[in-house]
Amino acid sequence: MLFRVPEVDAADHRVLAELERFRVDLRHQVAEPRRWLGQLRRSLIAGAIRGSNTIEGYTVGIADAEAAAAGEEMPTSHDRATREAIAGYADALTYVQQAARFEVFTYHPMLLSVLHFTMLRSELERSPGRYRLGPIWVAGASDNPPVYTGPDADTVPALVDELCDWLQDGDPDAPAVVRAAMAHLNLVSIHPWRDGNGRMSRCLHTLVLARELILAPEFSSIEEWLGSSPHNTAMYYAALGDAQGGSYQPGRDAHGWVRFCLRAHHLQAQLVERRLEIAAEVWRVLTDQVAAAGLGERTVAALYAATRPDGVRRGTYAREEGLTRDQAVRDLAGLKKAGLIEEVGHGRTQRYVAVGAAARAERSVQSAHSKQPLRDPYGGR
């Protein structure tokens, strides 16, 4: 037995309608050919990678997460476990991005096991992809009872089968964000594996939205929001705890959990909309700076990337803009001579970051937009 999709009330329907408006508006904006969108997408993917892993204790800076999203070496030194956790999750999200438009796709236990193996592939001692064989619980504070105890191990295969059957055909009329929230709750409550259940459940949440073609996964995920602050993470665990009741009790009402997820989606959509506005404005300002320096228009892409936390790398710039190595070197040299970027790091982690007028412009735009607080879709209730 799984947690059932709850009835949503009038307030939830209002938030769902607002989320639909966000979806339509964002789809129109994303559909327009804007050169900065590729870098914004990578930033959003990095936020999801960073957020979901932060919840599990694997903490990296946004620059490191953006490097991982681009398939590059992280500029900051981290222990092996952290590096592997970030890389594994980045690969899993890459699959989710591509799976959004697979012609042949089925929710199947093997799909979940493969995604789980991808995330934990470097930790074979934790049996990635294989169901747990014994009891499991989520520990609370030291010397306190567990905050959650999963169902018996011998029930796991049948429960995962039931979940996949539901994902394939269950509650087709329920809003996609509600189905995604319930997939998340059910998988994390079944707790099929020895480790990585939280990351897998958040990844499945994003996959359900991707398959519904609500919006590109990077624009619809709430993984970044869940892990973006200790406050958000605490609310996430509290909402899960309220829904679960300390043990596997699928007869409990999941309405509070669904409302939590709807609110998180709304707040994340507001953030994405703000980032689109910031990106467009920063691009316009940098275009003027490049023109004033007498540089070619294509260098705006390099300068914009240099304003990102990870900066711009010569190889990445050349690949994304279809340039030769010499062309990329000349463009970056021109921006450096104009006092708009400077080099940081050495060897494989060498990159260029914005300085001077370019850096000040980006900070000014960010500051102006950040003064407006986000709106609670439920009015703080």
* pLDDT tens by residue, 63-119: 888 888 877 888 888 888 888 889 888 899 889 888 888 999 999 999 999 999 999
How confident is the model at residue 143, as a pLDDT?
66
* pLDDT tens by residue, 205-231: 999 998 887 667 777 789 999 998 999
Spatial separation of the C-alpha atoms in residues 221 and 203, rounded to whole Å: 9
How confident is the model at residue 335, as a pLDDT?
97
Is residue 227 within 8 A of residue 50, CB to CB? The reply is yes
- Summary mean pLDDT of the chain: 90
Half-sphere exposure for 165 (CA within 13 Å, toward CB): 8
Residue located via tokens 């705006």: 300
Domain 274-370 has CATH 1.10.10.10: yes
Report the top-level CATH class of 10-265.
Answer: mainly alpha
Spatial separation of the C-alpha atoms in residues 41 and 261, rounded to whole Å: 22
Tokens of 351: 């990159």
Q: Indicate the angle between helix axes 230-244 and 176-190, nearest 10 degrees.
A: 80
Every domain of the chain with CATH number 1.10.10.10 lies at 274-370
354's enclosing H/E stretch is strand 351-354
The contacts of residue 185 (CB under 8 Å, 6+ apart) are 3, 201, 240, 243, 244, 254, 257
Tell me which residue of 53, 16, 355, 374 sits closest to 214, measured CA to CA: 16
- pLDDT reading at 152 higher than 90: yes
Q: pTM of this prediction?
A: 0.89
* pLDDT tens by residue, 300-350: 999 999 998 888 989 889 988 899 999 999 999 999 999 999 999 887 778
Every domain of the chain with CATH number 1.10.3290.10 lies at 10-265
